[in-house]
Chains A and B, each alone.
Chain A
Amino acid sequence: MLKVLAACGNGMGSSLIIKMKIEKVLRDMNLQFNVHHASVGQAKSEANNFDLILVSKPFVNDFRVNGDTKVIGLVNLLSEAEIREKVSEALGL
């Protein structure tokens, strides 16, 4: 089970958009997953509990994570192609 966290500035907008998109991408990839969403403030303290963290690119440097957790910065939150490519790369698929 892949544990995914979508985060944004206040946890109301872009994190929800990322959640909608990543769920679709992971379903299409036939992966088992669980997606949470949060503000970056909350997300930072919980980061190491997740396999993947997806954020809008300006937030990438806010995260300090252990080796097992991957942080992905997105430019176009609406692009399933970008999400799929970056997730595949992060998971080594």
Chain B
Amino acid sequence: MIAGFKLTEDFIQFEEEVSTWEDAITKSSKPLLDKGFIEQSYVDAMIDSVKEHGPYIVIAPNIALPHARPEAGSNKVGFSILKLDKPVAFSKEDDHKAQLLIALSCVDSTTHLEILQSIVTILSDEEKNNAIFNAKKVEEILYIFS
């Protein structure tokens, strides 16, 4: 449990590939939408944010962190994970490809900080980072994040 959010298998998805980065964002955040953590308007805002500002949500090689501002339609803090076999391109540059997407629901400006901190700690750990990219099953990802 991090900041009142418990990651379960329902929030983790594997997919071979998606056709566009818009699809990747939509797909990655679907568990949050289905469970009422976010509204459709929040999904749209995550996509608009990339259209407006560029591919900055690719925070590190192969990792994207789609998110929007709380007022776009977040009801509850949490995150969902999508792992792709084939990376999706957020721009024409190699630096902006992503295979791992972590959609973040920010309900206000501070509640998600603890979640963000733990995500960053896990992703910065080389061993855990490798394990995520080598994972073949939902349970493996769940184990790393809990």
Contacts and interface: CB of A to CB of B under 8 A. Distances in A.
A16 B116 contact: yes
B129 to A, nearest CB: 8
Contact of A13 (B55, B65, B91, B123): B65
Given A56-B59, A77-B59, A14 B113 contact: no
Contacts of B109: 11-12
Name the interface size band of chain A: 20 to 34
B60 A9 contact: no
Interface residues of B, number: 28
A12 B104 CA distance: 10
The interface residues of chain A, by DSSP majority, are classed as mixed
Interface stretch (B1-9, B31-39, B46-54, B135-143): B46-54
Contacts of A59: 53-54, 56
A9 B70 CA distance: 14
B56 A9 contact: yes
B55 A10 contact: no
The interface residues of chain B, by DSSP majority, are classed as mixed
Contact of B116 (A17, A55, A56): A17
Contacts of A14: 56-57, 59, 65
A2 interface: no
A12 B67 contact: yes
A20 B118 CA distance: 11
B20 interface: no
A57 B95 contact: yes
Contacts of B59: 13-14, 17, 56, 76-78
A3 B19 CA distance: 42
Given A17-B65, A75-B95, 17 more contacts: A8-B56, A9-B52, A9-B53, A10-B68, A12-B67, A12-B69, A12-B106, A13-B57, A13-B65, A13-B104, A13-B106, A14-B59, A16-B113, A21-B120, A56-B59, A58-B53, A78-B124
